Structure 1
Amino acid sequence: MKTAFATIQSKHKLSNALTISPRISNRYNEDDYRYFRHDLSKARSQHYNNAFMAELNATYEQNYGSFGLGVESRFENINSSNIGKHSRENYGAYVEFKTEMIKNLFINVGTYLNYNSDYNWQVFPGIDLGYDINNHWKLIFNAGSSQRIPSFTDLYLNQRPANIGNSSLQAERAKQVEGAIKYTSGNVIAQAGYFYRTINDFIDWTRNLNTEPWQPQNMDNNEVQGFNVNFRININPQNSITKYYAVIGYSYLNPRIKNNTTENNLSKYTIESLRNQANLNFTISHRDWSFTTANRFNERLSYKSYFISDVRLARQIDKLNLYVDAQNLFNVKYIEAGAVPMPGTWYSLGAKYTIAY
């Protein structure tokens, strides 16, 4: 796999009230998938993808609140050995309004208008509310809607006899609500919440028990509900040279398909959703150096539980950040989706430079 991407973004304050921020980006990707390592004459997939994106965001500040406005476009194309040549366009526009005029209450309401060259027009409203009970406790509520457009693979894949696409797929349409309570005091930040999401026309790859190939279908209705708890603890005074902090979290998911019309079929993805996930991240920083370890325990609906650890060592030198990563430190063997094993231990070096003017 080879990937190249670039982004250019700027910010301009045109007046005390109006600020605009244009951005353009491009992502190019080559993917050469080889099912049989020593026989490339069959079950080989070569994909060449490109996505170009342009957007313009603006904020307009007033004493009673602020308005956010934006437009964006995305142009996608693919040239593939077993998907073919395809392209599509996506355009979007949004408007939102934020205000804290009501005492202790934060309101953010908005909507997103989307047009896709394959799936026409859609509108997605949403709202976020935050209420400060006192200096330490806060109530949070949000509700919204969204969609997921089928990928080119979902639509056009021709990888017989194993997998074929379905050009009749409809886009997934989701609605979600979430409520949470947050506590902040000194060196401790804690949050606990419950969420519920329903997805119409949920896309899953299925096949009959006795036949091949796998093919994506729109399921009737997919529901996910669950809760999460997170703690962030600073273990040192704020003015300490050496700082320690830990983030502890747990989430529980309960997914199910309502009115399943394909219950006699095998499912490639729905039964592999997460049920339980716990994580513990710990960071030590001393002047320009920092060391982080990230650890997570995962348990999936139909797969063994597993534990993954990552570490990062970084140094900040003026505007230059250098880091080295070791991911899946203990070389754990596990699968997230389908039957594809995830990478074992792998290492990476990186650098990030910030230019200010």
Structure 2
Amino acid sequence: MTKKYQFSAVFLLFYFLGFAQEEAIDTVYIFDSQLKNSKKFHKIENLDEADLLKNSTNLSEVLRFQSPVYIKENGRGMVSSPSFRGTSAQQTAFIWNGININSIFLGQGDINNLNLLGYDQLEIKSGGGSVIYGSGAIGGTVHLNNELSFKKGFKTSFFAEGGSYNTFNSFLKSSYSNDHLSVKVSGNFVKSDNDYDVPEKNYTNLNGEYDNRNFNLGAAYKINSKNTISWQTQIYNGVQHYPIFSESMTKTKYISDTFRSLVNWNFRTEKVQNIFRLAYLEDEFQYFSNINKAKSSGGTAKIYLAKNDFNYIFNEKLAFNFIGEYQLNKGQGFQSGISNVERNAGSIAGLVRWNASQKVNFEAGIKKDFVEAIETPVLYSFSGKVNVNNWYSLIFNASKNFRFPSFNDLYWQPGGNLDLKSETSLQADLGNRFQYKNFKLNITPFYINIENMIRWLPNSGGIWSPSNINNVESYGLESQLDFVKDFGKNNAKFSLGYIYTNSKNVETNRFLSYVPQHKIFGNASYRYDFIEIFAQGMFNGLTFTSEDEKLSSALKSYFVMNAGLHIKILKHYQIGFKANNLFDQIYETTAYFPLPKRNYAANLLINF
């Protein structure tokens, strides 16, 4: 199907859904069923649509201001990568409705090519998760979730925002559901000239424009009380221009096309829940070293996936979970030395969950991956939770996780290395949860040891090549205080997080680059009746940009604050205004690429 017909289909679906009648609210269908179990043992940041719209520019902004993750971004809206607990982008897994979607070429995800407003909910989980989510789930996982509700009738939302640098952002979402059928469609479009100036750095973001569009279609049908069939499809197209430092430099750009489709069959009885999944994922990229000429490199990745998740509830205290998965990975490169490569991969995992009492819970898991031509370790996980009293809980997590080499690591020419080993990690954390009235406090010290980390470095012939040369040790503390209170027409929310990270190369005893030791983030909002005001703050400490620990090239610490307001008009309309970087801070998350100074946005949200 061509893009022209893909996106015009959105409006036809919206039109036909518009005649439905409203019904009472019933159940919500969630595609990532395993994440619910994880919430017992892990601090998971849950962000809904209202949270996402406070940082609607892109996913990087959401993670920067509303999570413990450090974001390295090559200028606003450009290439962006995360760091959980001192790990790298390759050690972060992006999970779309329960499916790992990291690139099989790069072994990671580009945050700003994951369209923010194409999802109903974003959840951020720190800590290892390879037993459930596979390769790359070492530092943490970012969950991009879509939901389908039953018995809610017809609902439509429209959002439009205009901002500095000729930025326009919009989405249209519509859903209909009755007792047995649920359908949701959404479309999103974003564009920006992105030509901001930072005079103090003598910097103009030349050739920084970007635009992207996204279409989602989800449907679920309840065959009977035991069987539900669901389907989720996403189509994405994005164009990123890469910033240049002078008009005399050659302009470049990157085009990304993504197609994802996932079918679930959910069978549930009192004792058994079985979810069978079939998925097809396709990613195509094209890089243009000169925007006026033909592409200079590119590639197409295809993943065919089958997965079965069987859960047996033995009794109210004991449950067994067995997960089997098979993938066929195909990659075809252009001007990369990669012609046509294939890889078969599979895994089997088993978990046992034991509710020893109302106060004590345990979960243990073991997994073995089988990846063609690559040796993989046996993985395991163990979690325990003790509710000591009504205001304090103690949680322990330990796991072995891994990442196997990507297609670029193995086959890129010149430089690919067929002798690479999988990265492995051992890690543990100890969560302390306190709750008193409307306050919640979470304090979690953590430790990670990574062996055989894959690094691309020049070899003796001057060619960049990957090898297993690094062992990394990372330890630190994640903490967060949350407060929520409703009183009358008033609602107040407050959260404050502090993260300390000490991440070093064991051989050199030097800090890893782009891992700040200190990060603080905070969000506060107050709503009275029809008006809401909110503020966000984020502090990053000194950040080295290379592993020689040169202070002269390090990124200096900075504090950035945003503020805004929302006003509801009548029943269905909301207007908003936001000032980003309120104090005009000059700052970088990547060397040589400053982010914008003070800028503004205004928006309109209609729900009916």
| TM value normalised by structure 1 | 0.75
Q: Deviations over 1:41-100 (max 9, x none)?
A: x4x322111121122345554545755554433211112124612112234536375976
- Separation (CA, whole Å) in 2 of partners of 1:346 and 1:119: 49
Structure 1 residue 19 displacement after superposition: 4.0
Aligned partner of 1:335 in structure 2 is 588
- Separation (CA, whole Å) in 2 of partners of 1:29 and 1:156: 24
- Separation (CA, whole Å) in 1 of partners of 2:303 and 2:375: 9
- Separation (CA, whole Å) in 2 of partners of 1:116 and 1:226: 32
- Separation (CA, whole Å) in 1 of partners of 2:532 and 2:453: 42
Aligned partner of 2:309 in structure 1 is 95
Provide closer, same or farther for how the CA distance between residues 141 and 66 of structure 1 changes in structure 2, counting only shifts above 3 A: farther
- Asked if 2 retains the 8 angstrom alpha-carbon contact of 1:323 and 1:350, the reply is yes
- Asked if 2 retains the 8 angstrom alpha-carbon contact of 1:277 and 1:299, the reply is yes
Aligned partner of 2:187 in structure 1 is none
Aligned partner of 1:308 in structure 2 is 560
Aligned partner of 1:275 in structure 2 is 517
Aligned partner (choices 466, 482, 485) of residue 232 of structure 1: 482
Aligned partner (choices 441, 445, 465) of residue 194 of structure 1: 445
Aligned partner of 1:137 in structure 2 is 392
- Separation (CA, whole Å) in 1 of partners of 2:466 and 2:594: 21
Aligned partner (choices 534, 540, 543) of residue 298 of structure 1: 540
Whose relative contact order is higher, 1 or 2, with alpha carbons under 8 Å and at least 6 apart?
Answer: 2
Aligned partner of 1:181 in structure 2 is 432
Provide closer, same or farther for how the CA distance between residues 294 and 91 of structure 1 changes in structure 2, counting only shifts above 3 A: farther
Provide closer, same or farther for how the CA distance between residues 344 and 115 of structure 1 changes in structure 2, counting only shifts above 3 A: farther
Within 5 A, what are the aligned runs for 1:66-145?
A: 70-82=277-289, 84-92=297-305, 93=307, 95=309, 97=311, 101=317, 102=355, 103-104=357-358, 105-106=360-361, 126=381, 128-144=383-399, 145=401
- Asked if 1 retains the 8 angstrom alpha-carbon contact of 2:445 and 2:478, the reply is yes
Structure 1 residue 143 displacement after superposition: 4.2
Q: 2:230 aligned with 1:21, yes or no?
A: yes
SS at match of 1:271: coil
Amino acid at match of 1:95: D
Return the structure number with greater helix share.
2
- Separation (CA, whole Å) in 1 of partners of 2:304 and 2:463: 34
- Asked if 2 retains the 8 angstrom alpha-carbon contact of 1:112 and 1:124, the reply is yes
For structure 1, the 5+ residue unaligned runs are: 158-164
Percentage identity across aligned positions?
A: 17
RMSD (Å) for aligned C-alpha atoms: 4.1
- Asked if 1 retains the 8 angstrom alpha-carbon contact of 2:376 and 2:404, the reply is no
SS at match of 2:513: helix
SS at match of 1:281: strand
Q: Deviations over 1:294-345 (max 9, x none)?
A: 1121113433211111223234565665543332222212222343222323
- Asked if 2 retains the 8 angstrom alpha-carbon contact of 1:147 and 1:172, the reply is yes
Aligned partner of 1:50 in structure 2 is 257
Structure 1 residue 257 displacement after superposition: 1.5
Structure 1 residue 241 displacement after superposition: 1.1
Which has the higher mean CA deviation after the structures are superposed, 302-311 or 69-78? 69-78
- Asked if 1 retains the 8 angstrom alpha-carbon contact of 2:408 and 2:416, the reply is no
Q: 2:398 aligned with 1:147, yes or no?
A: no
- Separation (CA, whole Å) in 1 of partners of 2:593 and 2:361: 45
Provide closer, same or farther for how the CA distance between residues 37 and 278 of structure 1 changes in structure 2, counting only shifts above 3 A: same
Provide closer, same or farther for how the CA distance between residues 184 and 350 of structure 1 changes in structure 2, counting only shifts above 3 A: same
- Separation (CA, whole Å) in 1 of partners of 2:559 and 2:254: 32
Equivalent pairs, count: 336
- Asked if 1 retains the 8 angstrom alpha-carbon contact of 2:361 and 2:384, the reply is yes
Return the structure number with greater strand share.
1
Q: 2:495 aligned with 1:247, yes or no?
A: yes
Provide closer, same or farther for how the CA distance between residues 67 and 194 of structure 1 changes in structure 2, counting only shifts above 3 A: farther
- Asked if 2 retains the 8 angstrom alpha-carbon contact of 1:181 and 1:192, the reply is yes
Structure 1 residue 284 displacement after superposition: 0.5
Amino acid at match of 2:441: A
- Separation (CA, whole Å) in 1 of partners of 2:216 and 2:369: 22
- Separation (CA, whole Å) in 2 of partners of 1:31 and 1:275: 31
Amino acid at match of 2:447: Y
- Asked if 2 retains the 8 angstrom alpha-carbon contact of 1:202 and 1:222, the reply is yes
Which has the higher mean CA deviation after the structures are superposed, 58-67 or 188-197? 58-67
Aligned partner of 1:161 in structure 2 is none
